[in-house]
Structure 1
C-alpha cells in the first residue's frame, strides 16, 4: 500500500518563523527546506509536499478572501493528496477552521489546522510537536481510508473539531479549548483517537462553496449598553446579521428600548443570533424571563455554538442568498458538527 500523501500549506504565523539570534528579528523560513529544519519529519510514514502563500500573512490580517484561497488550494489538490495540514497564526485560527468547515462540503479527508506560540527555531518552541503530530494525524488511515474526515485544529497534544474551538491564552502552549465538545484525539505516549466523537461523511460529493457576506457584526452585552449605541449598530447601512453575545444561558435586558431596537432590526431583515458570552454552556431562550422576549421577537438560538463558528456560519449562510425564512432553521441546524441540537 502506498504511503499517504500530505499537503502542508503555510499561510503565515509564528510557526513558520525563525529568529535571527543576532538581531532578535523574526523572518519566514523557506518551506521547501522543511525537512532540513525538522529532520524528524522523515520518520513519519507519509510523503509530504509543501506549499506556501506567495505572501504569508499575520493571522490578524485574515479575512474571507484568504479562506477562499485556502479552500481553493484544497479543492485543486483534493484528488492528489490523502490529507491536508494548514499552518496558520493562532489568533484567528478558530475563525478560519470554522469557516473552512462550512466551505468544504462532503469532506472525506482530514484538514488539520495547527500553529505555535513560539517560532520554529526557538529553543523552547512548541512548533515541532504541533507540526509533527498534526501531520501524523492527517496521515492516519484504516483500510486505505482516512480516519479523520473533517476540519480539525491540533494544538498542545489535543485534536479538536475546528468549529468547536476558541483561543483562550496568548501565553500558554495549551492556547485553545473546545468548551462544549470533547477532543477528537489526544497525543501522549500513544496517539488515542476518540472515534465516537468523529464526524462521519454525509455521503454528498465533495464541493467547495466560496460565497461569503461579511456585512455582519458581533455585539457583546454589558451592563450600561445604551440605546444610542445599539441603534447606531443596527442602523449600519447594508448590515445583514448580528451575533449577540448575551449573558448566561442567553439572557439580556428586558427594557422596552432594548427589545424594540432588536425587533425593528429583525423586521427590516437583519438576522440576530443569540450566543452565550460564557466560556461554556449553551443558550436556552425561554428558560428565564430575560430571554423569553428575545425568543418572541424572532431572535435565533445559537445553542452551544462558539462565537467564531457563529459569525463565520452567518457569513456563509448569508452568502448563499437564500430566502430569509430559510436562514433561521438552517442556522439552528448542525451543518458540520458545529452545534449540539
Structure 2
C-alpha cells in the first residue's frame, strides 16, 4: 500500500459499546460511528488510519445468528485488500460464538480481526468501552516490517488479547468478562503492550484468503445432567434434518453407561448424525477412554472435542458440515486443529 500508516476498518454490529447515555433522561441511544473520532479523540493518537462501517441494522448480540456471521465475513472479504486490520464491535453475550465462527470462515487469514465490546455504554462515566476500543485498534494496527503482527481472529477485553476460538464469557457483571482457560493470552495491555509472539497463530501466507459462507444450522447442543431421560434424548435425535450434536459430558468426557443411552447415541451415529464430545468444565480436556464411562463412546465412534470450547465446537461443526466432508473422514477432520482451536 502506498500509505505508510496501517488502515484499520471498524465494523459495528451492535451491542452495548455502540450505545450512549442521555444524561437528562438516563435512556440509552445508538451511537453514530461516523462521528467516532470526535467522540473518542484519543484514537487520533494511534499511528493508523481508521474507517468505519456498520451493519444496516445493528442488533443486540442476543439476536446474532449465522446469517449475520456471513454478513460480517463479507464485509471483511470486500475490504480485505484495502485494509491492514479489522476491529469488530460486538455485544459481549454472543461474542465468543461469532468470533469463533469467523475464525473458521476466514481460511488463510493473514491479517488481524479483533473482536471487542464493553460491559458499559461508551458514554457512561465508568465505561470500559474506550480502553477496549482504543487498544483493540492498536492491536489491529501492530506491524513488523510493514506486515501485520497478528494474523488471526482474536478477542480483546479488559487488558487481555485472546485467541477468539479459545474464549468463553464467564461473567455478566465484571469488566473481566472473558477467559481463555485452555490457551494463554496472546497479548496483555499494561504500561506497555506485551505480545506473546510464541502463542500467535502462524497461517500459510502463500495461500490467499478463502471466505466460507456455507454453514449448517441443523445441529443441537445437549448438556448432560443426572436424571436425563431417554425420551428427552430421543426427541432431540429424532429432529428432522439433524446433522450434528454437541454433547457436553462430565469431567474428561464421561457419561452414563446405561445401555439405553449408548444405544441412542449409536443409533444416531448410524443415521449419519455426527456426535461431538466436549466437557462441561470451563477448563480441561476430553480424554476419551481415560475412564470406563467414556470408553464406550470411543468404541461407537463419538468424536472427541478435546479441549475445545462449546462456542468453538458449535461453529466448527456448522462449518465442517457445510463443507460436505464425507462421513468416513469427518471424525478425522473434526479432531484436527484447523485454526488453533484445540490442543
TM range (shorter): over 0.9
1:23 & 1:288 partners in 2: Cα distance?
A: 59
Measured against aligned partners, the alpha-carbon deviations of 1:16-51 in whole angstroms (never above 9, x if no partner) come to 100112222211111010011101111000000011
Question: 1:261-276 maps to which residues of 2 (within 5 A)?
Answer: 261-276=264-279
- 1:153 — aligned with what? 155
Moved over 6 A (4+): none
Q: 1:36 aligns with which of 30, 35, 38?
A: 38
1:319 aligned onto 2:285: no
Q: Give TM-score, length-normalised by structure 1.
A: 0.99
Question: 1:42-121 maps to which residues of 2 (within 5 A)?
Answer: 42-121=44-123
Q: CA deviation at 1:192?
A: 0.2
- 1:12 — aligned with what? 14
SS where residue 78 of structure 1 aligns?
Answer: helix
2:330 & 2:15 partners in 1: Cα distance?
A: 34
2:326 & 2:281 partners in 1: Cα distance?
A: 32
Q: 1:308 aligns with which of 308, 311, 324?
A: 311
1:205 aligned onto 2:203: no
Q: CA deviation at 1:274?
A: 0.2
SS where residue 293 of structure 1 aligns?
Answer: helix
- 2:130 — aligned with what? 128
Measured against aligned partners, the alpha-carbon deviations of 1:287-334 in whole angstroms (never above 9, x if no partner) come to 000000000110000000000000000000011112111211110000
1:231 aligned onto 2:220: no
2:59 & 2:78 partners in 1: Cα distance?
A: 21
Provide the aligned length of Structure 1 versus Structure 2.
340
2:103 & 2:31 partners in 1: Cα distance?
A: 28
Q: 1:259 aligns with which of 257, 262, 268?
A: 262
Measured against aligned partners, the alpha-carbon deviations of 1:157-209 in whole angstroms (never above 9, x if no partner) come to 00000000000000000000001000000000000000000001123211101
Q: 2:182 aligns with which of 170, 180, 189?
A: 180
Residue segments in structure 2 that go unaligned for 5+ positions in a row: none
1:34 & 1:171 partners in 2: Cα distance?
A: 26
Q: Give TM-score, length-normalised by structure 2.
A: 0.98
Q: 1:2 aligns with which of 1, 4, 18?
A: 4
1:322 & 1:293 partners in 2: Cα distance?
A: 25
SS where residue 173 of structure 2 aligns?
Answer: coil
Measured against aligned partners, the alpha-carbon deviations of 1:233-258 in whole angstroms (never above 9, x if no partner) come to 10111111000000000000000010
- 2:339 — aligned with what? 336
SS where residue 66 of structure 1 aligns?
Answer: helix
SS where residue 123 of structure 1 aligns?
Answer: coil
- 1:144 — aligned with what? 146
